[in-house]
Amino acid sequence: MAYAITQSCCKDASCVSVCPVDCIHPTPDEPDFGTTDILYVDPKACIDCGACADACPVAAPKAIDLLRGAEAVFADLNAEFFERRPPREKPKTHTWDEMGGDLERSLSIAIVGTGPAAAYTARQLLLSTDAKITMIDKLPVPGGLVRGGVAPDHTDTKKFADLFHWAYRHPRTKMVMNVEVGRDISHADVLQHHDVVIYGVGARRDRELGVPGEDLPGVYPAPEVVGWYNGALDVAPDGVVLSGDRVVVVGNGNVALDLARLLLHDPEVLARTDMPDHAVAAFRGLDVREVVLLGRRGPSAAAFTRPELLMMPPGIDVVVARDEFTEGELAEAEAEPESNAAVLAALPLVDVDLTAPPGDRRRLVFSFGRQVVSVEGDERVEAVQVAPSGVPEQAEKVPCGTLIRATGHRGTPVAGLPFDEATATVPNEHGRVVDPATGEAVPGTYVVGWIKRGATGGIGTNRTCAHETIATIVADANAGLIPPAPKRRLTFGPFVRTRVDRVVGRRRMLAIEKAEETRGHREGRPRVKFESVDEMLRVSPATSLH
């Protein structure tokens, strides 16, 4: 029986490299790589060897005869992809093995961040070079987006942590945790002790709506809500207070779908995940019966991925609000069978009165061609004025208790580096940081991930991004463009301890993670997260850096 790739696919192409019969597509050397929602297995070519399942960091490939429930649809999705796809015209190449040449001298490299972009970079450097790595993070625990951004019920996706722990534990890696570059130490400090500094710091800002009433309590940016229900240490347990039987979410991407799914989910299911206790308690106290996803444009511009929508739990009605504009776009969707509009066209198209209270059944409503004009309320959000896009005078009052902006992520300036406010990225050429005022490269400084390319692409996209940045570093080093650091890497640890009282090294970091997992196992959960830095630092006595 053939395999099929399912919803949790990260698209990092680990499976492509190990497939003996070239039946997984798109591959990194094909033009449509990175454009599809997931990768696909050709069921006619698959020999049922299981190599893809062994290689995948998130357990996305599964034997078709073992697919159950909502996952059963992926057998058809994988087969349908190859019904329209022409055969490969030339043999595949394993692009991950081509790093643009070997380093001619060993480098000491600091990586700021421990999330997917930073961890993929560290992993590839350790596998393909003899570089010595220092990973620096402002938190005592690693993971970045995997820990603080992946929805708690996406348990397969969270398995990325196992892949990245290899890099954290490697003998050529030092972990310097609970230290923030730009606050505790400077960029110049790091570069004094390392030949190269790579920033993989992500993007945590959001885009404001710019409407009256947006500063009322009960209006939240999606990154803050996501951080809150994932136990992010920079969002207090009482920093988000959800309320009301209807929640309006501006946006219709995967983050918006995550928010809708969790708000409408059975809280007892969430209680078995690694969602922190404060958020579990809050979800238990909610009675959200309707979540409305507002999109300024039409169904063809919807930003979610098809697998994310297909995995909506049973018992939730998913509908599209009927209007002339939306109905017209959905009628044209048959011409593009792989588009999101085609997926939406298969959903019930219903007349929705958002001015009325929600019904008794839990419901997710896609409402297109709509914008928030203003937010109303005395002490917190009570309603939003919603109008057809570009026609604010036709606004209608939609009662709701919470408004969430899921309008995309934006990077924040990195102290000591140039920053492009328009793109919310650090200006760079293939990962090499460039000062736009002079056009010159910033010595020894590189970027990877969202701070490099903008907030696009999922976790697996960071593998190709890291590949490009590393190839640039190798080329620069071999061209003599990276001079040796003035000081030795071994002196970095003692230097940091003169600036930061509570530095966390690898042993202490692993002890904190082990303690969370132990707390979780007692309750039948993956882990129970600590909710403050102080709690984490009480786990074990201070140890020296490793």
Q: Is residue 181 part of a domain?
A: yes
Q: pLDDT-derived band of residue 545, with 50, 70 and 90 as boundaries?
A: very low
Spatial distance between the Cα atoms of 530 and 509, rounded to a whole number of angstroms? 13
Q: What average pLDDT does this structure show over 253-271?
A: 94
pLDDT at 92: 61
Average pLDDT score, the chain: 91
pLDDT at 90: 64
* Same domain as 254, residue 134: no
pLDDT at 334: 63
Tell me whether residue 301 is annotated as binding: no
For the chain, first and last CA: distance in Å? Answer: 47
Spatial distance between the Cα atoms of 239 and 201, rounded to a whole number of angstroms? 23
Tell me whether residue 462 is annotated as binding: no
* Same domain as 17, residue 82: yes
pLDDT at 337: 64
* Across 257-266, 427-436, 535-544, least confident range: 535-544
Q: pLDDT-derived band of residue 430, with 50, 70 and 90 as boundaries?
A: very high
Domain boundary among 29, 62, 96: 96
Range of the domain at 176: 99-203+411-537
The share of the chain scoring above pLDDT 90, in percent, equals 69
**Pick the residue with more confidence: 542 or 332?**
332
Tell me whether residue 451 is annotated as binding: no
3-state secondary structure string across 103-137: CCCCCEEEEECCCHHHHHHHHHHHHHCCCEEEEEE
* Same domain as 377, residue 251: yes
Instruction: List, in sequence order, every residue forming a beta bridge with 319; answer none if it has no partner.
Output: 365
Q: What DSSP character marks residue 483?
A: P
Q: What average pLDDT does this structure show over 134-140?
A: 97
* Same domain as 175, residue 234: no
pLDDT at 85: 83
**Is a pLDDT exceeding 70 seen at residue 409?**
yes
Q: Is residue 480 part of a domain?
A: yes
- pLDDT 10s digits, 357-400: 999 999 999 999 999 999 999 999 999 999 999 999 999 999 99
**Pick the residue with more confidence: 157 or 230?**
230
Q: What average pLDDT does this structure show over 494-521?
A: 94
**Is a pLDDT exceeding 50 seen at residue 218?**
yes
* Same domain as 393, residue 423: no
- CA 399-402-403 angle, 5° bins: 95
Long-range contacts of 83-88 (CB under 8 A, 24+ apart): 85/25, 88/22, 88/25, 88/30
Q: Is residue 545 part of a domain?
A: no
Q: What average pLDDT does this structure show over 229-251?
A: 94
The share of the chain scoring above pLDDT 70, in percent, equals 95
* Same domain as 415, residue 404: no
Q: Is residue 543 part of a domain?
A: no
* Same domain as 421, residue 379: no
* Same domain as 385, residue 240: yes
Tell me whether residue 252 is annotated as binding: yes
- pLDDT 10s digits, 145-189: 889 888 898 888 887 788 889 999 999 999 999 999 999 999 999
Domain count for the chain, please give it: 3
* Same domain as 462, residue 379: no
pLDDT at 256: 95
Q: Is residue 372 part of a domain?
A: yes
* Same domain as 168, residue 227: no
Q: What average pLDDT does this structure show over 488-503?
A: 95
Domain boundary among 96, 117, 149: 96
pLDDT at 543: 43
Q: What average pLDDT does this structure show over 192-201?
A: 97
Q: Is residue 544 part of a domain?
A: no
Q: Are 291 and 438 in contact (CB under 8 A)?
A: no
pLDDT at 204: 82
* Same domain as 402, residue 486: no
Tell me whether residue 16 is annotated as binding: no
Q: Are 286 and 265 in contact (CB under 8 A)?
A: no
Domain boundary among 96, 124, 146: 96
Q: Is residue 292 part of a domain?
A: yes
Spatial distance between the Cα atoms of 37 and 41, rounded to a whole number of angstroms? 13
pLDDT at 99: 46
Tell me whether residue 78 is annotated as binding: no
Q: Is residue 438 part of a domain?
A: yes
Q: What is the CATH number of the domain that holds 390?
A: 3.50.50.60
Tell me whether residue 117 is annotated as binding: yes
Q: What is the CATH number of the domain that holds 510?
A: 3.40.50.720
Q: Are 53 and 62 in contact (CB under 8 A)?
A: yes
Tell me whether residue 227 is annotated as binding: no
Q: What DSSP character marks residue 423?
A: T
Q: pLDDT-derived band of residue 546, with 50, 70 and 90 as boundaries?
A: very low
Spatial distance between the Cα atoms of 299 and 203, rounded to a whole number of angstroms? 26
Tell me whether residue 369 is annotated as binding: no
Tell me whether residue 181 is annotated as binding: yes
**Is a pLDDT exceeding 80 seen at residue 303?**
yes
Tokens of 268: 């007892």
Q: What is the CATH number of the domain that holds 69?
A: 3.30.70.20
Tokens 């308690």, located at residue: 281
- pLDDT 10s digits, 48-101: 988 899 889 888 999 999 898 888 889 999 999 998 788 776 666 654 555 445
Tell me whether residue 350 is annotated as binding: no
Tell me whether residue 261 is annotated as binding: no
Spatial distance between the Cα atoms of 424 and 404, rounded to a whole number of angstroms? 21
pLDDT at 192: 97
Strands ordered across the beta sheet of 432-434: 173-177, 132-137, 108-112, 196-199, 441-447, 432-434, 428-429
Q: Is 14 exposed, middle or buried (0-12, 13-18, 19+ CB in 10 A)?
A: buried
Spatial distance between the Cα atoms of 297 and 300, rounded to a whole number of angstroms? 8
* Same domain as 498, residue 390: no
CA distances from 270 to 96, 152, 401 (A): 37, 7, 22
Tokens of 65: 């005869």
Does residue 313 have a cis bond before it (omega within 30 degrees)? Answer: no
Q: What average pLDDT does this structure show over 461-482?
A: 94
